[in-house]
Structure 1
């Protein structure tokens, strides 16, 4: 049995794995038995429908002012009314950026469980790193220390009074873990599945 992704890229179906290199049978069983509206079975194959693939936007999460002497001040409400309403953080979609602030990016991998709302069989994207107890929370709590460390390493890269936007982004903006299909924790063999799906996206669209 093969697992396919009906990715909305050029209207074509991208294969994740073949009969020679198939996913763990337990994973396939979980997907089949999930009763997910995103799963289609046809000709002994499993297809993850194109309606599943909704991109999570890259965002500007924080803005800081560099005060000099390795001191950074977080600017409150700097994103005004452009915030993503259902985000746990003060996120603004990155493509809406319209200033000349310095950019510092946190590059993740791909969205997982908390980056979507799965309402009425519809994937609703939110923003990257939404988990308050994991990546999102760590960034929120440690971002000041990261900036201080960056200044220590690259002091000539910062100017007094300079404004800095912190960008959170995923190289692959889709849920490659397929969590909202199988609802299983991200551990073996689901990590392997996530990796295969991620590579499928990367090779078919993002790899240069």
Structure 2
């Protein structure tokens, strides 16, 4: 009986590892680890000199549907380009980084707080390398490019929702699980807070 249970545990464990491995592989495929492509979004991406924060973003009539691709996130410092999907459920995060819906948050480029979440195993594997002054970019489907410059990074508990709230100024947060190297459910969240510093129209 014990031998049968042991075999069942091994088989079940192997199946779970295989399934999770396929899921991770699918998610990795949507993340373009292409430094040249990531750096092509702007000429001055490497400059960390603080730039003035914009006090006003755009007004947009956009009303995307959950699961819709609304643009791409470019992070030149770590060579990442990844789709931005409207929503943060499992289905959305399997396709890229997810845009939080509700909680007073707004779409990229708008006045208010844009919150993007991604897995630490895929899109944000190297998020810990980003420093104050680094930039990331959101290119929306209409061709506009929004430049965000990082102001600070910090860590909160996984049940802390104080970071997913509305703001009066146009800014953004990137959120991922922490510690980065931990296997399984992580107890904390790593937050990258950035201000909108430039808007380029199509």
> Shorter-chain TM-score: which interval?
under 0.3
Task: Give the structure with the higher percent strand.
Answer: 2
Give TM-score, length-normalised by structure 1: 0.24
Q: Which has the higher contact order (CA 8 A, sep 6+)?
A: 1
Task: Give the structure with the higher percent helix.
Answer: 1
Computing the radius of gyration from Cα coordinates, the structure with the larger value is 1
